[in-house]
C-alpha cells in the first residue's frame, strides 16, 4: 500500500553563533514520509538546503534511541515535542498531517546559551555533576550484590532517579528555567544507596551551590519539568533534594 507523503511548513530558529541575533526562518519541505523520525525529517531538509547551496540547520543528536539526551528541541513550544515520555529522536512524523506548520526552536534558558541554530551549550549540567555527582570512596573488589542489604523499593527509587539522561527538557519546560529536577535526580540516586553515604552532605551542598552558580531559576512547583521529562523522573526527587540540602546545612553548622 502506498505511503501518504506530506508537505510541511517548517519555522526554524536560525542563529549563526552565540553573539549573533537569531530569527525564525520558514522552509517548505515536500514528500515527508510518516514513517520518518523527526530527526530524519530534519536530515532530509538539510540535504535539500545543502543541494541548494545553503547552510544546513545545526541540531544536536547522537544515539537516536532515546538514551543520550542530545536531541534538545522545542517543537511547537514543547520540549521534545508532543509525545509523552519520549525524546525528539523517538518522535515520528506520523504525529503530523499534510499541510501542518511546525515551529522548531532551541531550548530556552539563561544557563543554556545558544551555540548555533538549534544547538545549545548544556555544559552547565556537566559542571553540576562534577561538583558532587560521583563516589570517590575506594571500594576495592566489587561486592557481591546479595551482600548489600537494599530493599527492592529503595533500589527501584534509586534506579528511577538514575534514569535521568540530562537532556535539559526539565529546564526548558520550566517557566523559571529551574534545574531542580535534574539535580534532584542526581542527588537522589546516591542518597538512596549505601555507596553514596560517605559524601552525602558534601554532595548535596556542592551540587546545589553549583546549580545556583550556573544561573538556573528557582523551583515554584509548576510540575512542567515532570510532564516534559522523557524518562518520567518524578518531582519527589526535588523534595528529596530539599531534604538532603537542609540536612547537610544543619550537620555542617
d(C-alpha 135, C-alpha 123), whole Å? 20
CATH, domain range 122-252: 1.10.1060.10
CATH fold, domain 6-116, is Ubiquitin-like (UB roll) (3.10.20)
Domain ranges for the chain, please list them.
Answer: 6-116, 122-252
Give the N- to C-terminal CA distance of the chain in Å, as an integer.
Answer: 71
The helix/strand/coil state of 6 is: strand
In the predicted structure, residue 1 carries a pLDDT above the cut 60 = no
Give, in order, the Cα–Cα distances in Å from 143 to each of 102, 140, 190, 215. Answer: 51, 8, 17, 40
Burial annotation 68-92 (CB, 10 A radius, 16+ → b, else e):
bbbbbbbbeebbbbebeebbbbbbb
Q: For strand 101-106 and strand 6-14, is the pairing parallel, antiparallel, or unpaired?
A: parallel
| Each residue's pLDDT tens digit, 178-235 | 999 999 999 999 999 988 998 999 999 999 999 999 999 999 999 999 999 999 999 9
Residue 61: left (phi > 0), alpha (psi -120 to 50), or beta? beta
Which residues make beta-bridge pairs with 156?
A: none
| Each residue's pLDDT tens digit, 168-181 | 999 999 999 999 99
In the predicted structure, residue 133 carries a pLDDT above the cut 90 = no
Backbone torsions φ then ψ of 115, nearest 5 degrees:
-90, -50
Amino acid at each position: 500500500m502506498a505511503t501518504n507523503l506530506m508537505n510541511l511548513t517548517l519555522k526554524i530558529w536560525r542563529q549563526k553563533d552565540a553573539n549573533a541575533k537569531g530569527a525564525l526562518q520558514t522552509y517548505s519541505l515536500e514528500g515527508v514520509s510518516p514513517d520518518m523520525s523527526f530527526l530524519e525529517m530534519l536530515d532530509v531538509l538539510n540535504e535539500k538546503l545543502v543541494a541548494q547551496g545553503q547552510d544546513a540547520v545545526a541540531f544536536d543528536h547522537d544515539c537516536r534511541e532515546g538514551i543520550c539526551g542530545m536531541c534538545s528541541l522545542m517543537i511547537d513550544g514543547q520540549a521534545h515535542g508532543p509525545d509523552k515520555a519520549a525524546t525528539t529522536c523517538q518522535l515520528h512524523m506520523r504525529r503530523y498531517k499534510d499541510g501542518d506548520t511546525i515551529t522548531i526552536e532551541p531550548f530556552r534558558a539563561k544557563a543554556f546559551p545558544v551555540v548555533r541554530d538549534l544547538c545549545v551549550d548544556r555544559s552547565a549540567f556537566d559542571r553540576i555533576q562534577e561538583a558532587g555527582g560521583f563516589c570517590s570512596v575506594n571500594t576495592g573488589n566489587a561486592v557481591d550484590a546479595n551482600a548489600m542489604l537494599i530493599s527492592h523499593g529503595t533500589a527501584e527509587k534509586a534506579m528511577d532517579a538514575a534514569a535521568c539522561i540530562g537532556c535539559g527538557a526539565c529546564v526548558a519546560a520550566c517557566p523559571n528555567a529551574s534545574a531542580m529536577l535534574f539535580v534532584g535526580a542526581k542527588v537522589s540516586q546516591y542518597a538512596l544507596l549505601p555507596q553514596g553515604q560517605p559524601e552525602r552532605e558534601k554532595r548535596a551542598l556542592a551540587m546545589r551551590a553549583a546549580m545556583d552558580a550556573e544561573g538556573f531559576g528557582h523551583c515554584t512547583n509548576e510540575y512542567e519539568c515532570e510532564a516534559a521529562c522523557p524518562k518520567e523522573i518524578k518531582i519527589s526527587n526535588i523534595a528529596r533534594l530539599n531534604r538532603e540540602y537542609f540536612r547537610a546545612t544543619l550537620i555542617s553548622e
